[in-house]
Amino acid sequence: MEDQAEKLREIVNRKKDSPSGSPEKPSRIVSRDSKKTRIITVTSGKGGVGKTNLSVNMALAYARLGKKVVVMDADLGLANVNVMLNMVPKYNLYHVIKKQKTIREILVDTDYGISIVAGASGFSQIANMAENERQNFINELDTLSNADIIIIDTSAGVSSNVLDFIAAADDAVIITTPEPTAITDAYGIIKIIATEYDDLNMGLKLVVNRAKGAVDAKKVADRMITIAGQFLNLKVDYLGFIYDDVVVSHAVLRQKPFMVIDPRCKASLCVQHIVERLEKSELRKSEGLGGMMRKLFGRSK
């Protein structure tokens, strides 16, 4: 816990002190292109709480609604969307940054009606991109704008990259389990978002994964939402829960999404419900994909 708090402070201080780091806060109310690509980040305080499973299966649920969906693996350390889908993409974001490939060339269709942009451990090098590399990368990512939905599976915890992704997206989905450690770390990331972007009326949304049931999950969510409201003056919406379901771990072992293994299992029905709720929720105005990427990479030195 001490570690997490220390990391949070460090990031806040760095951002505040940095002369050229990030003086400007992202503005939320800005015009958007006519073509709406909804950008959803999935993140958590603690690792292993279900980000990748939620990202991939949410993408499938969206695809079933007839949406064109891209899952982008932005986990800096553990790029594993492709592993979950039993795919071995030859190229990933690293090759795009290095101008060896275009994003269209690395975008891979899956058997499930969604496309993926594979991540790389080298993704963290984005922060150190040269100006021309950065510009090229931004232009490249713009070409994803014909997707209806882009789901970004981020790494756990707080890094500036993750925070920037969260701030720039339309919806930031925070996922936790009912475990006290996961809850504390989820609260930690909500707190850092509130500290960093205090002018931002953002659509933070909470998912409780691996719950025993609706009552159990709601208790966890209510506590977190109340504390965020009281201490951070931040509105967090409860998006729903996912049952702890043995189908999930089976699916992971078989390297297929649980929505494919059993679309009627408890976890699948929950994810479907989550996507329905997201669809009903109001879409915040944002600058769309290009704007997001400019914010993301225009901010670092």
Ligand X SMILES: Nc1ncnc2c1ncn2[C@@H]1O[C@H](COP(=O)(O)OP(=O)(O)O)[C@@H](O)[C@H]1O
The site for ligand X (CB under 6 A) is made up of: 44, 47-53, 209-210, 242, 244-245, 248-249, 252, 267
Q: Quick one: 75 or 140, whose CB is closer to Mg ion?
A: 75
What's the half-sphere exposure (Cβ side, CA atoms, 13 Å) at 291?
20
> Shortest approach of ligand X to residue 251 CB, angstroms?
8
Asked if 155 interacts with Mg ion (CB under 5 A), we say no
> Shortest approach of ligand X to residue 210 CB, angstroms?
5
Q: Quick one: 138 or 175, whose CB is closer to Mg ion?
A: 175
**Contacted by 92, from ligand X, Mg ion, none: CB < 5 to 8 Å by type:** none
Non-local (6+) Cβ contacts of 197 within 8 A are 25, 26, 167
Beta carbons of 76 and 105 less than 8 angstroms apart: no
**Contacted by 248, from Mg ion, ligand X, none: CB < 5 to 8 Å by type:** ligand X
Choose one: 30-38, 47-55, 139-147, 288-296; the region binding Mg ion (CB under 5 A). Answer: 47-55
By CB atoms closer than 10 A (0-12, 13-18, 19+), residue 247 is middle
Q: In whole angstroms, what is the distance from residue 134 CA to residue 161 CA?
A: 14
Q: Quick one: 228 or 242, whose CB is closer to ligand X?
A: 242
Q: In whole angstroms, what is the distance from residue 60 CA to residue 98 CA?
A: 30
The per-type count for the chain, helices as H runs and strands as E runs, is 13, 8
**Contacted by 249, from Mg ion, ligand X, none: CB < 5 to 8 Å by type:** ligand X
Among 22, 37, 43, 52, binds Mg ion (CB under 5 A): 52
**Contacted by 28, from Mg ion, ligand X, none: CB < 5 to 8 Å by type:** none
Q: Quick one: 51 or 295, whose CB is closer to Mg ion?
A: 51
Beta bridge partners, 41, equal 152, 172
Q: In whole angstroms, what is the distance from residue 245 CA to residue 85 CA?
A: 19
Q: Quick one: 170 or 244, whose CB is closer to ligand X?
A: 244
**Contacted by 202, from ligand X, Mg ion, none: CB < 5 to 8 Å by type:** none
Quickly list H helices, 77-213: 81-84, 93-97, 103-106, 131-142, 160-168, 180-196
Q: Quick one: 81 or 147, whose CB is closer to ligand X?
A: 81
**Contacted by 232, from Mg ion, ligand X, none: CB < 5 to 8 Å by type:** none
Size of the site for Mg ion (CB under 5 A): 2
> Shortest approach of Mg ion to residue 11 CB, angstroms?
21
Beta bridge partners, 175, equal 207
Q: Which residue has the tokens 């690509």?
A: 37
> Shortest approach of Mg ion to residue 84 CB, angstroms?
8
Q: Which of 100, 97, 93, 47 is nearest to 70 (CA)?
A: 93
C-alpha distances (whole Å) from 48 to each of 54, 157, 228, 249, 285 are 11, 11, 23, 12, 31
Q: Quick one: 52 or 160, whose CB is closer to Mg ion?
A: 52
> Shortest approach of ligand X to residue 248 CB, angstroms?
4
> Under the rule (CB under 5 A), what is the footprint of Mg ion?
51-52
